[in-house]
């Protein structure tokens, strides 16, 4: 786990004089901004009322997504750097899913006044490390820092298109359905944390989470700091993908969105979904890419075929049989615990 090391977890930050309220906004920003490198696309970066970002072809792709302490992460499990990494990674895949290359992002953080500034420094470092790894050249061009009882990270991310955007609505009967990235790993990591990283009263526990990291590094990393195939989005567009989506809420639920938008059905082959088919269909937060390709397309290396587009009206099938929609809903599925 490149993102987790001793002294990096939220609970170990020094008490006292380094809270946001003790430092004030300007001093906090002065400690965060040096941790971020300029975006190649930034014509004017942070520090003015707005940034100016290059948009090749006279257009840009934009998407936004927020992570909230409690529903989306626990500080007892996530290190600040993992948190920054995940906030960046999950947004980058939305740009990838349009067939675009991420160029820049803005980051709006709300944080309690008693938050130690090292938490925000860690978040900034995690964002930059994620950009360097998954979207080289992209960078943070602006942001906002606001006092709040709850820590949230709202990222808005921008991308450049080489050709036409790949939408959810273009899948055609006969297309190959293919997937890039992991299936179910993030959900398995979350289940491990729920089962093995809570104390006797059910509260998220730092020490137990650290022990789990040692035993299951890949699954815990898949949940806490996912490494989605961001650049595979452009590759899919170049290979002629007819439709694409970021698999954030589970394969079945997100495939259904493609099926509904395209007016077709998606039929998965169970033998292509790994040993635990239900987990592959329902497991959320892997942030892989699900795409449809014409039957004669040459799939990019990162994609494996897992099904077919068949006639239908917005259904998802498994080996030809309709499956219920399963997956994550932020208002129906959260258990209400923070930590």
Residues annotated within the binding site for Mg(2+) are 49, 63-65, 94, 144, 246, 249
Q: CB of 315 within 8 A of CB of 260?
A: no
Which stretch, 18-26, 179-187, 278-286, 295-303, contacts a copy of itself (CB under 8 A)? 18-26
Instruction: Read off the tokens for 171.
Output: 């899948």
Q: DSSP secondary structure string, 90-150?
A: HHHHHHHTTT-EEEEEEEEEEE-TT-BHHHHHHHHHHHHHHHHHHSTT-EEEEEEEEE-SS
Give whichever of 161 and 281 is closer to a copy of itself, judged by the CB atom.
161
Which stretch, 3-11, 277-285, 306-314, 328-336, contacts a copy of itself (CB under 8 A)? 328-336
Residues 65-84 that bind a copy of itself (CB under 8 A): 65-68, 70-72
Q: How many residues does the chain have?
A: 339
Rounded to the nearest whole angstrom, what is the least distance from the CB of residue 319 to a copy of itself in the complex?
Answer: 27
Nearest one of 331, 314, 202 to 264, comparing CA atoms:
314
Residues 118-137 that bind a copy of itself (CB under 8 A): none
Which of 73, 85, 158, 303 is the binder for a copy of itself (CB under 8 A)? 158
Region of 46 (left: φ > 0; alpha: ψ -120 to 50; beta: rest) is beta
Rounded to the nearest whole angstrom, what is the least distance from the CB of residue 209 to a copy of itself in the complex?
Answer: 22
Contacts of 201 (CB under 8 A, 6+ apart): none
Which stretch, 30-38, 49-57, 209-217, 224-232, contacts a copy of itself (CB under 8 A)? 49-57
Residue 276 main-chain phi, psi, to 5 deg: -115, 90
Residues 99-118 that bind a copy of itself (CB under 8 A): 100, 104, 106-108, 110, 113
Cβ atoms < 10 Å from Cβ of 87:
28
Residues 210-269 that bind a copy of itself (CB under 8 A): 244-246, 261
Which of 25, 199, 203, 218 is the binder for a copy of itself (CB under 8 A)? 25
Which of 35, 86, 168, 315 is the binder for a copy of itself (CB under 8 A)? 168
Nearest one of 334, 155, 187 to 252, comparing CA atoms:
187
Contacts of 43 (CB under 8 A, 6+ apart): 51, 52, 53, 54
Binding residues for ATP: 143-144, 168, 248
Q: Is 49 in the site for a copy of itself (CB under 8 A)?
A: yes
Give whichever of 27 and 173 is closer to a copy of itself, judged by the CB atom.
27
Q: CB of 309 within 8 A of CB of 264?
A: yes
Rounded to the nearest whole angstrom, what is the least distance from the CB of residue 208 to a copy of itself in the complex?
Answer: 24
Distance CA 272, CA 2 (A): 30
Contacts of 30 (CB under 8 A, 6+ apart): none
Rounded to the nearest whole angstrom, what is the least distance from the CB of residue 101 to a copy of itself in the complex?
Answer: 12
Instruction: Read off the tokens for 241.
Output: 């993908």
Residues 26-45 that bind a copy of itself (CB under 8 A): 26, 28, 43-44
Instruction: Read off the tokens for 168.
Output: 């959810």
Binding residues: 49, 63-65, 72, 94, 143-144, 168, 246, 248-249, 285, 328
Give whichever of 7 and 149 is closer to a copy of itself, judged by the CB atom.
149
Which stretch, 6-14, 63-71, 264-272, 308-316, contacts a copy of itself (CB under 8 A)? 63-71
Give whichever of 212 and 243 is closer to a copy of itself, judged by the CB atom.
243
Helices within 166-313 (DSSP H only):
185-196, 206-215, 217-224, 232-238, 251-262, 277-282
Residues 269-308 that bind a copy of itself (CB under 8 A): none
Distance CA 333, CA 86 (A): 20
């Amino acid at each position: 786990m490149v993102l987790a090391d001793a002294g990096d977890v939220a609970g170990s930050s020094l008490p006292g004089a380094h809270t946001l309220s003790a430092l004030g906004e300007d001093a906090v920003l002065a400690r965060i901004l040096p941790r971020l490198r300029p975006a190649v696309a930034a014509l004017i970066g942070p520090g003015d009322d707005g940034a100016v970002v290059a948009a090749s072809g006279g257009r840009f792709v934009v998407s936004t997504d927020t992570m909230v302490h409690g529903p989306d992460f626990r500080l007892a499990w996530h290190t600040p750097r993992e948190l920054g990494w995940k906030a960046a990674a999950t947004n980058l895949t939305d740009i990838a899913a349009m067939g675009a290359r991420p160029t820049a992002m803005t980051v709006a953080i709300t944080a309690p006044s008693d938050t130690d500034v090292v938490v925000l420094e860690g978040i900034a470092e995690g964002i930059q490390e994620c950009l360097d790894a998954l979207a080289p050249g992209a960078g943070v061009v602006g942001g906002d820092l606001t006092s709040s009882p709850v820590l949230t990270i709202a990222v808005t991310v921008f991308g450049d298109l080489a050709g036409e955007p790949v939408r959810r609505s273009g899948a055609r009967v006969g297309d190959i359905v293919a997937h890039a990235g992991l299936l179910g790993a993030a959900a398995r990591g979350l289940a491990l944390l729920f089962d093995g990283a809570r104390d006797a009263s059910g509260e998220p526990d730092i020490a137990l989470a650290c022990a789990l990291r040692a035993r299951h590094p890949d699954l815990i990393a898949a949940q806490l700091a996912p490494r989605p195939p961001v650049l595979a989005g452009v590759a899919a567009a170049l290979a002629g993908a007819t439709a694409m989506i970021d698999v954030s809420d589970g394969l079945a639920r997100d495939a259904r969105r493609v099926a509904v938008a395209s007016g077709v059905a998606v039929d998965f082959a169970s033998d292509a979904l790994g040993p635990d088919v239900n987990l592959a269909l329902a497991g959320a937060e892997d942030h892989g890419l699900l795409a449809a390709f014409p039957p004669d397309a040459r799939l990019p290396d990162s994609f494996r075929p897992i099904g077919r587009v068949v006639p239908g009206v917005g259904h998802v099938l498994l080996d030809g049989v309709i499956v219920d929609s399963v997956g994550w809903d932020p208002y129906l599925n959260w258990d209400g615990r923070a930590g």
